[in-house]
Amino acid sequence: MERTRDELMQLLHARRDCSVAELAQAVGVSEGSIRRHMDRMVADGLVTARLARQPRGRPVTRYALSEAGEEVNSASHYARLLDRLYPALTGLRMDDLAGLDGPAVLERLFAEVAVVRAREHASEVRAERLEERVEEVTVALREEGILSEARDEGDAFRLRNVGCPYRSCAEDHHAPCDADRRTIELLLGAPVIQLSTVAGGGASCEYLVAKDEPAGARPVHPTAGA
């Protein structure tokens, strides 16, 4: 039962919202079983339900993760974030903190997280062409909860993430969102514009990468303080 619930939460995270029929088809179990899971998850406050009108027929109930459900689904992302923040914090010297207030210290820490995270995934980005690097970076950061898909829009690539890996943290301060954008930028070796964030009220986190990169541009090799 727990395994099915986890799979359903992953699907809702990736697709934003689903009907019982869509979930049943994706998981491979009966609609009755999915409906029972949804009833329990709604009662537990992990999932919300809403009626959606259809062109024909009766309205269909669609389910989505609640804010609490997103947090439960993001537990592994928080653990990974803590593993990176702690060394960054202990590595700071008193001289590094001189004149900095709390928010500025937080920005400094998350900037280091971006560098460390990019360094960890650097070996997964090997392509010369930007188009191929975009795909490699999307795959590399999918498990991190930072990217879910990339789309070619002609003169640019639009990178998208349907959820937030650490929503409550990102809603308190912009530093986590800035770190995600910087990680993508370091791995691509190209400027990345952040268009929207889930924490900021957007339907998804979206980034734009222009195709007019300099000839021979390559991913940055991150070093501390980059």
pLDDT in tens, 106-117: 898 999 999 999
Reported as a single tens digit per residue, the pLDDT across 166-177 is 877 888 889 999
CATH 3.40.50.150 is held by the domain 2-73: no
Q: Where in the chain is the domain with CATH 3.30.1380?
A: 75-210
The answer for residues whose C-beta is within 8 angstroms of residue 129's C-beta and 6 or more apart is none
Share above pLDDT 70 across residues of the chain, in percent, rounded to a whole number: 93
Residue 225: pLDDT over 90: no
Reported as a single tens digit per residue, the pLDDT across 32-88 is 999 999 999 999 999 999 999 888 888 999 999 888 888 787 778 888 888 898 888
For 53, 65, 118, 160, 165, the CA distances from 156, given in Å and listed in that order, are 35, 31, 22, 13, 25
Let me know how long the chain is.
226
Q: Where in the chain is the domain with CATH 1.10.10.10?
A: 2-73
Q: Phi/psi of residue 6, each to 5°?
A: -60, -40
Q: What is the mean pLDDT of residues 82-103?
A: 82
How many angstroms separate the CA atoms of 176 and 37, rounded? 32
Give the torsion through C-alpha atoms of 212, 216, 218, 223, to 10 deg: -120
Beta strands in 57-120 (DSSP E): 60-65
In this prediction, residue 165 carries a pLDDT of 83
How many angstroms separate the CA atoms of 150 and 99, rounded? 40
| Helix H or strand E encompassing 103 | helix 102-121
Q: Would you place residue 190 in the very low, low, confident or very high pLDDT band (cuts 50, 70, 90)?
A: very high
The angle that helices 2-15 and 31-43 make with each other, rounded to 10 degrees, is 80
In this prediction, residue 157 carries a pLDDT of 97
**Fold adopted by 75-210:** Muramoyl-pentapeptide Carboxypeptidase; domain 2 (3.30.1380)
In this prediction, residue 204 carries a pLDDT of 83
Q: Which residue has the higher pLDDT, 178 or 68?
A: 178
Reported as a single tens digit per residue, the pLDDT across 192-220 is 999 999 888 887 899 999 997 554 455 55
In this prediction, residue 166 carries a pLDDT of 82
Residue 27: pLDDT over 50: yes
Any bridge partners for residue 60, and if so which?
52
The answer for residues whose C-beta is within 8 angstroms of residue 135's C-beta and 6 or more apart is 127, 150
How many angstroms separate the CA atoms of 68 and 151, rounded? 30
